[in-house]
Amino acid sequence: MAGTDEKKITRRGGNVDEDKVFQGLQKKQKCKLCEQDFLLEKLPGAISYKSVLKLRESWGLDVHYPAPALLYQRVQLCVFCSQFFEPKLGEEKSPSSPSKASHK
Q: Does 75 bind Zn ion (CB under 5 A)?
A: no
How far is the C-alpha of 99 from the C-alpha of 38, rounded, in Å? 43
Q: Does 53 bind Zn ion (CB under 5 A)?
A: no
Residue of the chain from 1, 40, 81, 86 that contacts Zn ion (CB under 5 A): 81
Backbone angles phi, psi at 48, to 5 degrees: -70, 145
Residue of the chain from 52, 53, 75, 78 that contacts Zn ion (CB under 5 A): 78
Using CB under 5 A, which residues numbered 82 to 101 contact Zn ion?
none
Q: Are strands 45-48 and 28-30 parallel, antiparallel or unpaired?
A: unpaired
Shortest CB 32 distance to Zn ion, Å = 7
CA distances 42 to 22, 45, 62, Å, are 17, 9, 27
Return the range that interacts with Zn ion (CB under 5 A); candidates 2-10, 13-21, 59-67, 72-80: 72-80
Shortest CB 50 distance to Zn ion, Å = 17
Please give the size of the binding site for Zn ion, defined by CB under 5 A. 5
Provide the residue count of the chain. 104
Name which of 77, 62, 70 is nearest 30 in CA terms.
Answer: 77
Q: Which residues contact Zn ion (rule: CB under 5 A)?
A: 31, 33-34, 78, 81
